[in-house]
């Protein structure tokens, strides 16, 4: 069964590039959503185990740290690895809360190969 990777990114070209890079890992299924609300709705309805999340920090409806915290507050996803991508230089959660901390942070512009490599190690 393929491992499910959720990408939360509102820029279509970047989301598509991330999906192509991540699909190169093999034995993965990539789902792309454009905002945090849609991502959380998907996770609440979804029955396939989630392997990882790649999210942007600046989303239209919430910031990435808030999304990460919401995901990790959901029992099945507490330990799911999360990669955060951002244009900010030193992104930090509003509150130093472990649930909102990503496993890795990439600052734009970043290498798709490096994101894929780090994601492979987290899986």
Region of poorest pLDDT, from 24-28, 85-89, 93-97: 93-97
Cis peptide before 109 (omega within 30 of 0): yes
Sheet containing 104-107, strands listed edge to edge, beginning at the edge strand earlier in sequence: 28-33, 3-8, 50-56, 82-86, 104-107
Give 1's pLDDT tier (boundaries 50, 70, 90): confident
> For all residues of the chain together, what is the average pLDDT?
89
Return the pLDDT at 79. Answer: 92
Which whole number is the average pLDDT over 64-86? 92
Asked if the model's pLDDT at residue 89 lies above 90, the reply is no
Asked if the model's pLDDT at residue 94 lies above 60, the reply is no
3-122 CATH pick, 2.30.38.10, 3.40.50.300, 3.40.50.2300, 2.60.120.200: 3.40.50.2300
Asked if the model's pLDDT at residue 49 lies above 90, the reply is no
Return the pLDDT at 98. Answer: 58
Asked if the model's pLDDT at residue 109 lies above 60, the reply is yes
Asked if the model's pLDDT at residue 97 lies above 80, the reply is no
């Amino acid at each position: 069964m393929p491992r499910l990777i959720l990408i939360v990114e509102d820029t279509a070209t970047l989301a598509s590039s991330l999906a192509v890079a991540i699909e190169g890992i093999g034995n993965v299924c990539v789902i792309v959503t454009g905002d945090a609300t849609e991502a959380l709705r998907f996770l609440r309805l979804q029955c396939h185990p989630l392997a990882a999340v790649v999210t942007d920090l600046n989303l239209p409806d919430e910031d990435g740290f808030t999304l990460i915290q919401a995901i990790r507050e959901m029992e099945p996803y507490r330990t799911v690895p999360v990669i955060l991508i951002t244009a900010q230089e030193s992104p930090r959660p509003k509150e130093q809360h472990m649930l909102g901390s990503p496993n890795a942070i990439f600052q734009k512009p970043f290498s798709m190969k490096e994101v894929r490599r780090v994601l492979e190690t987290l899986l």
